[in-house]
Chains A and B, each alone.
Chain A
Amino acid sequence: MAGQQGAEDLFDSILFADERFRGEGYQEGFQRGTQRGLHNGWRHGASHGAKLSSEISFYYGFAISWKCLLERQSDDRSRKRLKALEALLNLTQKFPLDDPQSVKLQEDTEKLRAKFRQVCSMLNVPTDFKDYIRTAEGTSF
């Protein structure tokens, strides 16, 4: 009986050692992996965030300026333009820049780009202006 008991203990301790060493390695690895994940994630996130925010902020700056420039005019055409500018401003302000996991991010980006194109068309923005517009194209989440 005592022999059998000893054998079981022995067996347990082998298993235990096996699992424990594996577990120890796992812990160390997990720690390393977490750092690596945070680092890599941060790297990609920061780059995407900076580009997307640059684009959205550009639209905001563009729209707010035109709003200031047109505000004093009261003709029909200017009123229509102001309305479109308000819509553009509204979209930039609602944009979920603080929530990179938002399911609406892609959709909102598309909406914003479409609204910006409409505004440019309404304002008769010169076509060579395109050279100054960079989008955060290629951003994927």
Chain B
Amino acid sequence: MKEALSLVQRISAHPDSCCWFVSWSPNGALLASCGGDKAVRIWGREGDSWICKTVLQDGHQRTVRKVAWSPCGNYLASASFDATTCIWKKKNDDFESLTVLEGHENEVKCVAWAPSGNLLATCSRDKSVWVWEVDEDEEYECVTVLNAHTQDVKHVAWHPKKELLASASYDNNICIYKEEDDDWECQATLQGHTSTVWSLCFDASGERMASCSDDRTVKIWKECPSENGQGNLSWKCVCTLSGYHGRTVYDVAWCELTGALATACGDDAVRVFKEDVTASPDEPVFSLVAQETKAHSEDANCVSWNPKEAGLLASCSDNGEIVIWRFKEEELD
């Protein structure tokens, strides 16, 4: 096996600014990006290249930190440092602002849609995680405010199959939340990282989670029955990838199609890891199979696998660029 990342296209997406985050639409046809220019841009393929289809402006007064597509692909949520989250609705080829979610005291750091599409999670520097419910009338209502972290909450991610939410924080911890007796509760606090946890994601099955941190490591957590046997699940760190990253690991993405794990790092590199399928599930082994040390000229902020086209990877950087990569696993004879 010989693997490599090949460059598909380099796009100056948010010129004179930085690009914080990129997110593929559920059908893989569109890529949304957001940045320091307060705008969200939607990219689509035309022929062999990716071009800007539309720009969502005037929604936010400050940096747009994250964007998320609803599972149906008809809505887009953008989280901004202006303390609000905008919900955009797709209309033909354009998007219109549907509603603005207010409530966080300051910078909203992340937004994520639950697989059902009925729940939305946001998190903020105000240390809280909010869960919003969407009704048939497209009205959004806060169903809970969770204060399990003691510091800035950087990222939220939903379990792919259950209504289980995970959050990563500047307090070095990961919290897992679940609805219990009509109210949401922090079910588990995962300790292990020695510095800010910047991002996390579940694998396709939801049985495992990858987290990345300012401590320059990536950790793999596995769901296991809790010792007290009360039905609650606990999560154990089963693998730590250390020694690969020269600086803060800002993002980690687990490909639903191939199981490959990609990282975006403050050392400007994009790396891809693959799991040794022969290893025990309780002691997984991941090895670095591809890396672009100069993927970007500045910090790589985010990596995202296309959900439909195996191996298609997007990354973005502080210099405002998006890069589209193709990760290839070539069979040698």
Contact = CB atoms under 8 A, between A and B. Distances in A.
Interface in B90-149: 102-103, 128, 130, 135, 139, 141-147
Nearest to B83: A127
Interface string A106-128: 00001101110110111000010
A133 to B, nearest CB: 11
A118 B102 contact: no
Interface residues of A, number: 16
A110 B147 contact: yes
A87 B146 CA distance: 14
Given A87-B183, A127-B102, A118 B147 contact: no
Contacts, number: 33
Nearest to A80: B141
Contacts of B102: 121, 127
Contacts of B103: 117, 120-121
Interface residues of B, number: 15
Contacts of A77: 139, 141
Given A87-B183, A121-B103, A127-B102, A114 B128 contact: yes
Nearest to B144: A118
Contacts of B144: 114, 118
B141 A117 contact: no
A130 to B, nearest CB: 8
B147 A113 contact: yes
A121 B102 CA distance: 8
B183 A114 contact: no
